[in-house]
Amino acid sequence: MRIRTLDDIHAIVTGGGSGIGAATAEALVNAGARVTLMGRDMIRLHTQRERLAPDQRSAIHCEAVDITQADAVDGAFERASQAFGPATILINNAGQAQAAPFTKTDAELWQRMLDVNLTGVFLCTQAALPAMLERGYGRIVNVASTAGQIGYPYVAAYCAAKHGVIGLTRSLALEVATKGVTVNAVCPGYTETELLYASIDQVIAKTGRSEAEARAVLQSNNPQQRFVDPHEVANAVLWLVQRESASITGQSISISGGEVM
């Protein structure tokens, strides 16, 4: 049974075309929210709209945007506001991961990881926050990673960016603590998404292991010996955006089968 706790609330989900973003959008729509999906690929976004709300397409709006570009973000958020009104909920999910030994991590890779994973969160939050403060109510959830809570080898730039997301979450949560706005982060471990599949392909290419062996190597980080399902992350996000979750702010919640305690 669907419990519509978010009727008529506007939620923006970046990186909404697949994986955790799509699962989160589905949870929000099922709870009654009107959702704007944002991502680079409009075709993928429209495909998700057809999949998530075949009988209520008017509940989902799509915006193609590069979240690393301030002008593009401002334009996309303005158009989303025209469609559904100012956003009450912002899910900063868009991200990218690329592995390289530290000595082969060049400035271009470093900057790209910071731009997509950290600066994008900053720009989208700046676009959404003023209306939340004016209204005296809002929910911001940043999809970080266990890489923002601990270190992993060969992804220094990604880890640095995700640590930055958690730092931003904590700082902003304190700044708006009396304004009716909560700011939290969810930190998934290895999750069944395209990012995971790319990591598996990298392990196969660099080690010669089979796909099953590569999956086992990555699953070994999780005490439950499995990958996280995107809907498990979406359920945590849905909990954090409820009105009844007002006292939960500044948290970085690990969704990793006990990898981080």
Q: Is residue 59 included in any domain, yes or no?
A: yes
Q: Is residue 5 included in any domain, yes or no?
A: no
Give, for all 261 residues of the chain, the pLDDT tens digit.
467 889 989 999 999 999 999 999 999 999 999 999 999 999 999 999 998 877 777 899 999 999 999 999 999 999 999 999 999 999 999 999 998 999 999 999 999 999 999 999 999 999 999 999 999 999 999 999 999 999 999 999 999 999 999 999 999 999 999 999 999 999 999 998 888 888 888 888 888 898 898 889 889 989 999 999 999 999 999 999 999 999 999 999 999 999 999
Same domain as 194, residue 66:
no
Q: Is residue 150 included in any domain, yes or no?
A: yes
Same domain as 53, residue 36:
yes
Q: What is the pTM of this model?
A: 0.94
Residue range(s) defining the domain that contains residue 238: 10-189+229-254
Same domain as 206, residue 151:
no
Catalytic residue among 137, 152, 158, 197: 158
Name which of 123, 28, 18 is nearest 68 in CA terms. Answer: 123
Distance of CA 183 to the CA centre of its chain: 13
Contacts of 54 (CB under 8 A, 6+ apart): none
Same domain as 203, residue 176:
no
Active site residue 190: no
CA distance linking residue 138 with residue 245, whole number of Å: 11
Structural domains in the chain (count): 2
Q: What is the CATH number of the domain that holds 140?
A: 3.40.50.720
Q: Is residue 259 included in any domain, yes or no?
A: no
DSSP for 42-74? HHHHHHHHHHH-TT-GGGEEEEE--TT-HHHHH
Partnered with residue 182 across adjacent β-strands are 139
CA distance linking residue 45 with residue 48, whole number of Å: 5
Same domain as 233, residue 199:
no
Same domain as 210, residue 135:
no
Tell me what pLDDT residue 7 has.
Answer: 92
What are the pLDDT digits (tens) for 82-97? 999 999 999 999 999 9
CA distance linking residue 128 with residue 21, whole number of Å: 17
What are the pLDDT digits (tens) for 16-59? 999 999 999 999 999 999 999 999 999 999 999 998 877 777 89
Q: Is residue 69 included in any domain, yes or no?
A: yes
Same domain as 184, residue 96:
yes
Same domain as 154, residue 118:
yes
Q: Is residue 93 included in any domain, yes or no?
A: yes
